[in-house]
Amino acid sequence: MQISRLLLITTLLSMLGGFSATVQAAGDAIKVTSIAQVETEVIGKDGKKSLVRTPVEKAIPGTEVIYTTTFQNLIKKPVGDIVINNPVPNASEYKAGSAFGKDCDILFSVDGGKTFGHAEELTIKDEGGKPRPALAKEYTNIRWIYKKQLAPGKSGEVGFRAAIK
């Protein structure tokens, strides 16, 4: 038997921190954890450079922050219709093309999360009142619609990058 309930998971991320919550649906079916990280280049003992993610401690303008939300099925039945919403944190700009989420339809909003569409569908009115294509830096919210059933014990991950203004 599969559980198919609309789980609207709103993950409120502060500019520099994360938020973790357990969703109250289907008997606490989905656990959600969010984290804000930065990438730092490190040089290994072998002299090779690599990127390491660490939690954000300080972020000055221009810092690129990676916001990642993990969702995990805590029950013994598949869960479907999972929807995750993230606001683009205040004082930051979404980095074009950076949203990720395997098996997800990714939508964006330019009106504070009232309406969503694919990037190419979004418009904003210019100073003269005429619609023009919205720029990635104008996105206010991101929505991921998980297109599969999340199996018991399994998890998924979605996220995006934003630069601090």
And the tokens for 21? 């919550």
With 80 as the cut, is the pLDDT of residue 28 above it? no
Domain ranges of the chain: 3-164
Through-space distance between the first and last CA atoms of the chain, rounded to whole angstroms? 48
- CATH code linked to domain 3-164: 2.60.40
More confident residue, 6 or 119: 119
Give pLDDT tens digits for 78-109. 998 899 999 999 899 999 999 999 999 999 99
pLDDT of residue 81: 87
Confidence class of residue 9 from pLDDT cuts 50, 70 and 90? very low
Predicted TM-score (pTM) of this structure: 0.83
Which residues fall within 8 angstroms of residue 124, CB to CB, at 6 or more apart? 110, 131, 132, 133, 134, 135, 138
